Amino acid sequence: MGLKNLTGLVLLSLAVIVLPYALPDFYFKLIQIGIYALICIGLSLLLGYAGQISLGHAAFYALGAYTSAILTVRYGWSPWLAVWVGIGLTIILALAIGIPSLRLQGHYLAMATLAFGEIAFVVATAWVALTGGPSGFGHIPKWNVFGYRLVPPRADQAIFYFVWAAVILGLLVALNLINSRVGRALRAIHDGEQAADVLGIPTATYKIKIFVLSAAYASVAGSIYAHVSGYVNPGPFSVEHSILFITMVIVGGMRTVWGGVAGACLMGLLPELLADLEHWRFAIYGLILLIIMMFIPQGILLGVRDLIAWSLEKLPFRKADSPGETE
C-alpha cells in the first residue's frame, strides 16, 4: 500500500494510544467522531473513488444501530453476532436500492438514496412496535470485548480505543482495496466511465459492489453507535445527517480515504469551537460545502499538501523532481 499510507496508519495508531493520557479532558469527544469517521471512510470510497453519491447513508447507519439494539435487547443476542446480521440486512437493502438506480446515471442515485433515506427515517419514527418510535429505546448492553466489559469508570477510555481500533481497521481495508486492481478500476470509473468500460471494467457491477461496501461501513458504525450510546432514537439518522456525512467527506477531501477521517474530525469538532451552534448549523454546513466545492474541490487535506508543495516550489531551495506517489 506504499510507505506513506503505512506511516500514516502507524502514526494514527500511536496518536490514538497516547491521546487519552495526553488530553484526558478532551479525548472522549472523539468517540462519536470516530464513529462518523468510519462512515466517512466508506462514503469516500463511493464518492471519491467511484464518483457516485448517496444521500441516504444515514439509513444504513440506522439499520446497523437498530438491528444491533433490537437483537441484543429483545432477543439477548451477543453484539458480535448482531453486527453481522446488521451487515447482512444492509447488504440486501443496498443491493435493492443500488442495482436499479446504478443502472441509471448521475442524479438518479442521488434522488433514489435521498428518498430511501427519508423513507427509512419515517419508518424508524412511525413503526413504534419495532423501533420504539420517536422516543426510541435504551438499555442496550455495552460491547463485551474479549471478556473486558466496557463499563465505567474506565469505560470512556476503553470505548475510545475500541471505536478507533475499528476506524484503523476500516482504513486498512479501504487502503488495501484502493491500492489494487479493484481500486484502480473504481478510480478509472470516476474519471471516465466509458473509457473504463472499453478497457474491460464492468462499470455497473463495480459501482454496485462499492455502494454495498460503503453501506456496510455505515452499518458497522451504526452497530457500534448503539452499543456505545446505549440508546437509539431516530434523531441521529435523519437525511440531514446523510448530508453531514457527505460534507465531512468533501471537507476532508473525497479523493483520499484519509480525507474522510480528517473531515469527520474537522466537522465533528466544529460544534465544539462555536458554542450554541444549533441554529447556525445548516447555514454553516451549506456555506462550508459551497466554498470547499467551489474553491478547494480536492478538500482540506490535499489542499494543505498542495499549498505546501506550492510554497516549496516558490522558495529558492527548490527540490529536484522526485517521483510522486498517490495513495
Partner 1 sequence: MTPDAILEVRELSKRFGGVHALEGVECIVPEGQVFAVIGPNGAGKTTFFNCLTGVTRPTTGSIRFQNRPLAGLPSHRIAEAGIARTWQTIRLFEHMTVLENVLVGCHTRGSTGFPGAILRLPSQRREERRLREAAMNHLQRLEIAHLAHRPVSSLPFLQQRRVELARALAAEPKLLLLDEPAAGLNTRETGQLGELILSIREQGLTVLLVEHDMSLVMEISDQVLVLDHGVPIAEGPPRQIQENEKVIAIYLGSEAL
Partner 2 sequence: MSDSAGYSNLMQFVLSGLAFGSIYAMVAIGFNIIYNATGIINLAQGEFVMLGGMFLVWGQDELGLPVWAAVAVSVLIVAAIGVAFERIAIRPLRNPSVLVLIIITIAGSFLFRGAVLLVWGDRLFSCDSFLSGDSIWILGAIITRQRILIFGTLLVVGGILAVFFGYTILGKAMRATAFNRTAARLVGINTRTMVMFAFGLSAAIGALAGAVVVPVTGIAWEHGVLLGLKGFAAAVLGGLGNNAAAVVAGLLLGVIESVAAGTISTDYKDAIALSALLIVLFIRPAGLFGRAELTRLGQL
The binding site for partner 1 (CB under 8 A) comprises 173, 176-177, 180-185, 187-188, 190-192, 194-203, 209, 213, 255, 323-326
Which of partner 1, partner 2, none does residue 201 bind to, with CB < 5 to 8 Å depending on kind? partner 1
Count residues binding partner 2 (CB under 8 A).
44
Residues 238-267 that bind partner 2 (CB under 8 A): 239, 243, 246, 250
Q: Per CB under 8 A, does 66 bind partner 2? A: no
Q: How far is the CB of 245 from partner 1 (least distance, A)?
A: 22
Closest to partner 2 by CB, 52 vs 68, is 52
Contact 227, 143 (CB under 8 A): yes
Closest to partner 2 by CB, 79 vs 263, is 263
Find where cell 506517489 sits: 325
DSSP string covering 179-242, please? TSHHHHHHHHHHH-HHHHHHTT--HHHHHHHHHHHHHHHHHHHHHHHHHHHS-B-SGGGSHHHH
Name the residue type at position 145: V
Which of partner 1, partner 2, none does residue 284 bind to, with CB < 5 to 8 Å depending on kind? partner 2
Contact 284, 277 (CB under 8 A): yes
Residue burial 56-94, b: 16+ Cβ < 10 Å; e: rest: bbbbbbbbbbbbbbbbbbeeebebeebbebbbebbbebb
* 3-state class (DSSP) for residue 145: strand
Distance CA 259, CA 145 (A): 29
Closest to partner 2 by CB, 82 vs 112, is 112
Which of partner 2, partner 1, none does residue 287 bind to, with CB < 5 to 8 Å depending on kind? partner 2
Where do contacts with partner 2 occur on this chain (CB under 8 A)?
Answer: 47, 51-53, 55, 97, 100-101, 103-108, 110-112, 114-116, 118-119, 122-123, 125-126, 239, 243, 246, 250, 279-287, 289-290, 293-294, 297
